[in-house]
Structure 1
Amino acid sequence: MEVLMEKELNRTDIELCLAFPTSSRRAFSMPEGETAVYFEATDTLEKKWNFRLSRRSVITGDWLQFVRDKGLKVGDKIFMWREEGATGVRYTVRAETKIFGVWVNVQ
């Protein structure tokens, strides 16, 4: 399993798009001449989300719907990782929020 990002969300992440670490962009094969790559990520409830990662290292697509569905706010955390298996590459996304000083998964 390769961790692609672990990030505390800021206002831009919540309202516009998710800034993605440039160093993790290598985990995606972006064809020459293309400006973005599309990928599917599964959350902790096994729901699939379609994201778009641009050359500018921002994630859009279903991102804002993910934020709304999970009720995310500034200060919550997002985790994304990549796993390679017999059936191919799988991306997973997880969100956490702090409740009474303890980080818990957002379902």
Structure 2
Amino acid sequence: MSRKEVAPGEEEWYRVYKPELDTAAFDPLDPEKRYHEGVLVETNPGYGKGTLFHVTGDIIAASGMRYEEREFDREMESEYLHSFPQIGRVIRADFHSGKSALF
């Protein structure tokens, strides 16, 4: 993926996206297509790489659901990526100060 140009003043901010990824399992009781969503803070500006905040698991399974943070690379996930809309921005200093735990 080629690097996007970063406008002056943008270097203080990280872009925030809501990636939608194809789900692995089809649910015959709910035939509507669903996508796994999360919140991505793009910590490597212009490359679609950063930290993905999301919940995994199954609400009715014994193990339940759990919150996770993991590295995300848009190129590596492209096979499963349905959409990648930008939903906002976060100040870099705030993100690295631990305020990311608010997600």
Which category of TM-score, normalised to the shorter sequence, fits these structures? 0.3 to 0.5
**Which TM-score applies when normalising by structure 2?**
0.33
**Which TM-score applies when normalising by structure 1?**
0.32
- Which structure: greater strand fraction? 1
Larger CA Rg, structure 1 vs 2: 2
